[in-house]
């Protein structure tokens, strides 16, 4: 037996060791609860103006937006955890806009401000909670130290890379990416304009064939995706949306989808027999994971 979706739900709902929050690039990330405070402090400042702009597009003024933030905070303090359905209903009862993307952008704003995170599961829905109630009050964060740690952890998973790759992945200004790398300069080695941690283990073998989810970090970790996608860019991403895809020898070879608990693989071209068999085995394991077996 391997890890199952139920194990992840338990970590979100009971252990509180994981949570989901809007962080890098303004997208939802699953992170360790103990890392939330510093990741939020270092990656969300560039999102503050963006969240106001998004609300403006939905016709929500700054004043209405701030009142909505206070209502969300009060609702979570008094009744949380709350599912999206329940939180939306409470806002509607008080006359706040919720049609179109308004509700989503109000939640995004609350996340960027550090008011809420997605914590426990209620049935098959993620529930919102007050960040301070769920994981405790955050201690002050040393931004310089946080940038250094962000750069260090990025390179563990994405080296060799450049400062522009880090900036793209984190959604930070280039100056911040450079500051983070500069802070750990004594830990780095450079070759052909790319840096890596000097004490990191040598690169291993190319991973075996895998089915990767939508928005997998392998497509979001560098400034360019060309090496992985090759001629299949539009088949994997459409209008900024990322589809689940299959990776073989470091290249995208198929997309896949889940329908009624069954995985269907759609090839982008020829796949070697051995790799195809490995992907089918992956499909079986994905089905097992979601079934909680």
* Domain chopping of the chain, boundaries: 5-135, 143-197, 210-291
| Cβ within 8 Å of residue 77, ≥6 positions away | 130, 133
From the CB of residue 68, how many other CB atoms can be counted at a distance below 10 Å?
Answer: 25
Output the pLDDT for position 201: 66
Least reliable range by pLDDT among 17-26, 193-202, 250-259: 193-202
Q: Note the pLDDT tens digit of each residue in 135-174.
A: 998 889 999 999 999 999 999 988 899 999 999 999 999 9
Q: pTM score, two decimals?
A: 0.88
From the CB of residue 274, how many other CB atoms can be counted at a distance below 10 Å?
Answer: 11
Query: What average pLDDT does the structure give for the chain?
Result: 91
Please tell me the distance from the alpha carbon of residue 235 to that of residue 242, in angstroms, as a whole number.
Answer: 9
| Cβ within 8 Å of residue 59, ≥6 positions away | 97, 102
The highest-level CATH class for domain 143-197 is mainly alpha
Confidence of residue 202 (pLDDT cuts 50, 70, 90): low
Taking CA atoms, 49 is separated from 44, 55, 109, 225, in Å, by: 10, 10, 10, 28
Q: Note the pLDDT tens digit of each residue in 238-248.
A: 777 888 999 99
Confidence of residue 206 (pLDDT cuts 50, 70, 90): low
For residues 52 and 291, the model is more confident at 52
């Amino acid at each position: 037996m391997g890890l199952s979706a139920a194990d992840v739900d338990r970590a979100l709902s009971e252990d509180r060791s994981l949570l989901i929050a809007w962080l890098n690039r303004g997208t939802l990330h699953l992170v360790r609860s103990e890392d939330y405070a510093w990741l939020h402090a270092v990656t969300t400042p560039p999102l503050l103006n963006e969240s106001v702009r998004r609300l403006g597009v939905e016709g929500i003024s700054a004043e209405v937006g701030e009142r909505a933030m206070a209502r969300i905070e009060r609702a979570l303090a008094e009744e949380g955890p709350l599912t999206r359905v329940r939180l939306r209903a409470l806002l509607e009862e008080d006359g706040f806009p919720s049609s179109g993307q308004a509700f989503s952008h109000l939640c995004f704003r609350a996340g960027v401000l550090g008011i809420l995170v997605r914590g426990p599961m209620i049935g098959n829905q993620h529930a919102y909670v007050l960040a301070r109630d769920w994981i405790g009050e955050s201690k002050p964060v040393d931004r310089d130290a946080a940038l250094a740690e962000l750069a260090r952890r990025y390179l563990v998973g994405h080296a060799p890379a450049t400062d522009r790759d880090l900036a793209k992945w984190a959604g930070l200004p280039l100056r911040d990416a450079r500051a983070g790398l500069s802070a750990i300069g004594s830990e780095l080695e450079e070759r052909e304009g790319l840096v890596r941690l000097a004490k990191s283990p040598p690169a291993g073998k190319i991973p075996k064939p895998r089915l990767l989810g939508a928005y997998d970090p392998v497509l979001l970790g560098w400034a360019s995706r060309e090496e992985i996608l090759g001629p299949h860019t539009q088949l994997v991403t459409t209008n900024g949306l990322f589809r689940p895809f299959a990776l073989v020898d470091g290249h995208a070879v198929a997309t896949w989808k889940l329908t009624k608990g069954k995985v269907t693989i759609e090839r982008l071209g020829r796949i070697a027999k051995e790799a195809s068999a490995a992907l089918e085995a992956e499909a079986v394991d994905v089905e097992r994971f979601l079934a909680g077996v």
